[in-house]
Each structure stands twice: as C-alpha cells, then as structure tokens.
Amino acid sequence: MSGFLKKLFAGAAPQVAHVNPWGAEFAVSPSQTLLEAALAQNIPFPHNCTVGTCGSCKCRLTGGQVSAITDFGYTLSAEELSAGYILACQARLKSRITVEVESAGDNLPQPATYTGQITSQHPLTHDILAVTVTLDRAMPYIAGQYASLALPGLAARSYSFAAAPERAGKRALTFYIRTVPGGAFTGQLFAGALQNTSLEVTGPHGHFFLRGGDGPIICMAGGSGLAPLLSLLHDARKNRLRRRCVLLFGARTQADLYALDQIEEIKTTWPADFTFLPVLSDEPASSGWSGRRGFFTGMLGEFIPPPQAASTQAYMCGPPPMIDAAITALTTLGLPLEAIHYDKFTDSSHAAR
C-alpha cells in the first residue's frame, strides 16, 4: 500500500476516548465529535447548543490531541485554552484522548420539553424587558440555570431564569431579556408581537449554579446577566447561606441600572457581609453620579485580598468580552479556573463566525 493510502486509512480509523469521572472508554469515529460519541454511549455528558456557543460541554483534555471544528476560543477564554479546556461538541479526535468533566452537575434536573406562552412583559430599562413565560406544567430548575425558547421556524434562544426556583418547580418563568440590534427573536419580542404566542421551551440547562464551600463569593453581572445572579442570590438568601458576598453590576449609564430594589432587599437580609457596587462605564461626567466609573474588572483586587484568593469563588454572567476580561483578572489575582463559574451570553453571531 502506498504511503498516501496508508495515511488516508490511518486517518480514518476510530480513536478511543477515556472520559472521567465516569471512567468510560469508547470509540469515536472520524466523522463524530467527542460529544456525539459520548451521547451515543448514554454518557450524561453536559451539553446544550451543540454548536460551540454555550460552553456547557467544556471539559479538560488531560491526554492526547483533538482538532476543533470551530475555534474553541470563541467560547473559551485564553486562560481556559492554555489550561487544556476544549469543547466536546466541537472536538474531533486526532489520537487516543483522556478528558475530565466536572462531575458536580450529576444531580441536576433532567431537561424536558414544555409548551409556553409569553403572558406578560414590561420594561426594566430602555433595552431590557422582564418577560413571563407560562408553561403547560411546572419546570424544576436550579438557581443560575437557563431555558431555551423556540418560536416556530427559529432556532432556540437561551435565557437564564431570573427568579429563585421553587421546590415543586415553576410554571411562570421570569426572564430578563435585552434587545439585540438585528436580532430575530428580540426584534419580535420588543415589537410586542409575541404576546400569547406559543413557544417550545426546553430546560433546564446549564452548569452555572452555586458550588459548596464556606469562602467568600464574588458575583459579577453585565446588562441582562444580572438575571441568573439574582436567581442565585435570592435562593442562597432563602437558604440562609452565611458566606461573605460581593455583587458587582456593570452598566453603561444610570439608565441601564435596574432591579436595585431587589438587590437592596437581598443586601439587607443577607446573613453575612454583603457589598453591592454598581460601576458605570459611559455615565456623562456632568451627571452628578458619585459612584464608581469604568469597568469593574479593573477593581477586582479591592475585593479579593491575596489571602482570600484560594477560597473565593467567582460567579458571572453577561457579554463575552466582560467574562473574558474578568477571567484574566481573577486568575491573575490567584483564583483557580475551577473556582470561576460563568455563562457567556453569546448569540448567533458567535455561531456564525
């Protein structure tokens, strides 16, 4: 056989993946992604979008080599890439590999499909709506998770739950949704065209939830990214979590701040020390705003003194550039990547890159 043919057949051979913590070992064909092969083996590999934008299938490559269908760097940070993280839904195997999946999510509620209707919507700011979707039956979820909403003929969009969960699940789901210029879903929503329209809702999804521990937590939100943090903080307060908490809320101007009454209520009833800091990036100099200006990512050192870096957990949601800048700042301060939890609010422009 010629060298060329040998190479061709060798390239076409299935490779083996070893996936921890399950210790599962299975073949992955050249046409399959790591995620597809794992799901075909009934391995509960975390996932949602399958197109490399949500980050749910993030795992750490500890041995072997993969190639990326779409660049992992659109969703993962530079720090995660250099620590060996990959996206299973975008990974094809170049050799035998070993990957580690965070096991903390094994007990999360199983996603299911529901029928829902938008039963109310009201503005929180000039570009964010509070939207209630009422389901045909109650959906159980964990604070911090999200659901996918699909209109007929349009791919599903992800939105994080803004309210604390209830033990028996919730039928009326609240979301905080920001308009996106040129956005197919938010364009119709903000035009008021979706009131009482039937939606297919799947969920709950995601691995953004409060981890165990007794060290401080630092929460960071940009824009509608406040929604899952409010859900998480309301729930933690209900459960009398006694951990020091800092909440940083980044917005452009005072007109972009919202839910301040909810934050004040959480702050005054939080059973331990609670600091809230809104930080404005584009507030006019003449406005009389006496609070902080700029980006909170440059201020994180004030809230994480060096002795606390190893025990602090970070939770953040919002625009991808904010998350990437915060990961760089947090790891520079000494937080391990395993203590940094986030959902990047990506959209279809990321999938199209």
Residues lying near ligand FES in the complex (CB under 6 A)? 47-50, 52-57, 75, 87, 89
Q: Which is nearer to ligand FAD, 146 or 270 (CB)?
A: 146
Shortest Cβ 208–ligand FES spacing (Å): 13
Residue nearest to ligand FAD (CB): 183
Do 46 and 65 contact (CB within 8 A), yes or no? no
Extract the tokens encoding 349. Answer: 């422009």
Q: How far is CA 112 from CA 131, 135, 138, in A?
A: 21, 12, 11
Q: Is 348 in the site for ligand FAD (CB under 6 A)?
A: yes
- Residue from the set 147, 177, 326, 340 that interacts with ligand FAD by CB under 6 A: 177
Least distance CB 158 / ligand FES (angstroms): 9
Q: Which residues lie below 8 Å from residue 240, measured CB to CB, with a gap of 6+?
A: 271
Q: Which is nearer to ligand FAD, 134 or 348 (CB)?
A: 348
Q: Write 178-181 long-range contacts (CB < 8 A, 24+).
A: 178/127, 178/128, 178/223, 178/224, 179/127, 179/128, 179/129, 180/347
Q: Which does 47 bind (CB under 5 to 8 A by kind): ligand FES, ligand FAD, none?
A: ligand FES
Of the candidates 265, 231, 226, which has an alpha carbon nearest to the alpha carbon of residue 247?
226
Q: For residue 309, which phi and psi values (nearest 5 degrees)?
A: -60, -40
Q: Which is nearer to ligand FES, 89 or 163 (CB)?
A: 89
**Binds ligand FAD by CB under 6 A, chosen from 32, 75, 160, 331:** 160
Does 231 participate in binding ligand FAD (rule CB under 6 A)? no
φ/ψ of residue 338, rounded to 5: -65, -20
Q: Which does 348 bind (CB under 5 to 8 A by kind): ligand FES, ligand FAD, none?
A: ligand FAD
Residue with tokens 């920001």: 178
- What distance lies between CA 234 and its chain's CA centroid? 18
Instruction: Name the residue nearer to ligand FAD (CB basis): 207 or 243.
Output: 207
> CB-wise, 178 or 205, nearer to ligand FES?
205
343 makes contact with ligand FAD (CB under 6 A): yes
Largest Cα–Cα separation, the chain: 79
Q: Where along the sequence are the contacts to ligand FAD (CB under 6 A)?
A: 53-54, 146, 157-160, 175-178, 180-187, 206, 224, 227, 343, 345-349, 352
